[in-house]
Structure 1
Amino acid sequence: MAEKQGLYEQCVGIVKERRFVSVSFLNRILIGQKNNAEYVSIAKVIEQMEQNGVVGPIDGDGFRKILIT
């Protein structure tokens, strides 16, 4: 669970800094950081971020609004 929490915190930090979120975007950044996060894990993290009010739901164009500053 600690590993998942670490992944969550990493992803929130990236989203907060870059002001953008998508599974493929986070996956590319994490691979560049030598993090072996699985695509499915990142998708679950984004769902958790939506539940926690970090990002909004997917809009009609397939994007999510970043809700944190």
Structure 2
Amino acid sequence: MIEFKVTGDYIPMIQLLKATNLVSTGGEAQIVVDEGEVKYNGEVDYRKRLKVKQGDVVEFRGNTIKVI
């Protein structure tokens, strides 16, 4: 499990995937979200600009990110 500390109120989903080095570029992040590869709090979510906040859990390609 990856623990990611958010420094504001939230981090956009695409930026979170880049910040945790699970994707190389913002473009790649947009594609994987569009294709339904990302789960947000247990459900597939297609929103690229989704505001991920403290306590949320994101799953992607076998990795789990807990936002703290």
More relative contact order, 1 or 2 (CA 8 Å, 6+ apart): 2
Higher helix share: 1
TM-score (norm 1): 0.31
More strand by proportion, 1 or 2? 2
Q: TM-score, normalising length from structure 2?
A: 0.31
Structure ID, larger Rg: 1
